[in-house]
Amino acid sequence: MEGQVDVFLFLFVGMLTLALLAGAVVIFFFFYQKKMLGQELHVRELEIAHREELLHSNIEQIESERHRIATDLHDELGGIFSTLKLKVNQLDKGANLKQLVAESREIIDSGIDSVRRISHSMTPPGLEMFGLADALLSLCQKNSSPLLGIDFDFDATFPRLNGQAELGLYRIAQELLNNSMRHAGATRIRLHLSRLEGEIYFEYSDNGKGFDPAILQSLRGLGLKNIEARANYLNAIVEWHTQPGNGLKTIVKVPYLG
């Protein structure tokens, strides 16, 4: 009789165990699914918020750039044309021909210079024709001064990239340079550009006052948002290495299949 009960006991316990296991599977499955779904939702919401921020900063930047151009045009060219008109009017009255012509020529030259400067600040000269490396070289040379030493090292065999990538990287370099000069008080800057396996590697470093990496989370100010936005647009990865008082190193890796 004992042995018989054992068999049934075994069976009963076995059945109960399997049923409980199955129940546990269902419960686990149910709650895990809810959790995963919730997490996914949360991640998506964060992504959307981040994208919106980038979009807003983009719009802000475009507007401020327009404003700058408008101001430049008004201040420089407006003044030049007004002055020129005065001179030409005087020409009409016949007085002092030679001198007036010389002065007008100067004013016109200065006008041409202004137009060149304003248009170059919008589109980097030579980028389309000679490529990124050349444009960056020119940028570094233009901004170098006795107070600020800028080195740019790159391989002479650096390839041409597509228009978007070249413009994007150029703008990032411009932005970083601006920050270093205006806010970080740097005296030495170094740019590096090379092509690695499957990617373009761009490195920027300065010896300025750096910043607290924590503000990267909020990406406030310092045009960091613009840099992130541009990198995003190129599907590139940006790495920031900085500490207050310790300069800044930024690395941008752009996927490149060439």
Partner 1 sequence: MPWPRLIIAIASFFIAFPVVLALFRYRQLSIAMRAIAAYVFLSGFIQITSSYLNGQKQNNLWLLHLYTPLEFTCIVWFYSTVLQGFLKRAVFVWIGVGFALLSGLNSWFLQDPKTFNTYARSLEGILVILFCLVWCYKTLTEMKIKQLQKDPVFWVNTGFLLYFSGNVLLFAFSNYILGINRALNLYIWAFHAFFSILVYFFISIGLWKAR
Q: Which is nearer to partner 1, 34 or 50 (CB)?
A: 34
Interface region with partner 1, contact rule CB under 8 A, candidates 1-9, 73-81, 182-190, 244-252: 1-9
Laid out side by side, the sheet with 149-154 consists of 149-154, 188-196, 199-206, 248-255, 237-242
Q: Is 257 in the site for partner 1 (CB under 8 A)?
A: no
Q: Between 25 and 44, how does the x/- string for binding to partner 1 read (CB under 8 A)?
A: xx--xx-xxx-xx--x----
Q: Any idea what DSSP says for residue 197?
A: T
Q: Which of 7, 95, 147, 156 binds partner 1 (CB under 8 A)?
A: 7
Q: How many CA atoms lie within 13 A of 189 on its CB side?
A: 30
Beta strands in the chain (DSSP E): 149-154, 188-196, 199-206, 237-242, 248-255
d(CA 9, CA 142): 90
Pick 2 or 212: Cβ nearer partner 1: 2
Q: Which residues does 242 contact at the CB level (< 8 Å), separation at least 6?
A: 210, 211, 213, 248, 249
23 binds partner 1 (CB under 8 A): yes
Task: Please tell me the distance from the alpha carbon of residue 54 to that of residue 205, in angstroms, as a whole number.
Answer: 24
Q: Residue 129 interacts with partner 1 (CB under 8 A)?
A: no
Q: Is 73 in the site for partner 1 (CB under 8 A)?
A: no
Which H helix or E strand runs over 230? Answer: helix 224-233
Confirm or reject binding of residue 21 to partner 1 (CB under 8 A): yes
CB of 31 to partner 1, least distance (A): 10
47 binds partner 1 (CB under 8 A): no
Alpha-carbon separation of residue 92 from 26, 80, 81, 109, 131 (angstroms)? 97, 19, 16, 21, 48
Closer residue to partner 1 in complex, CB, 7/129: 7
For residue 41, the minimal CB distance to partner 1 (Å) is: 9
Residue length, the chain? Answer: 258
Of 6-14, 138-146, 159-167, 241-249, the segment contacting partner 1 by CB under 8 A is 6-14
Scan for tokens 């005296």, then name that residue.
Answer: 187
- List 14, 126, 163, 213, residue binding partner 1 (CB under 8 A): 14
Q: Which residues bind partner 1 (CB under 8 A)?
A: 4-5, 7-8, 11-12, 14-16, 18-19, 21-23, 25-26, 29-30, 32-34, 36-37, 40
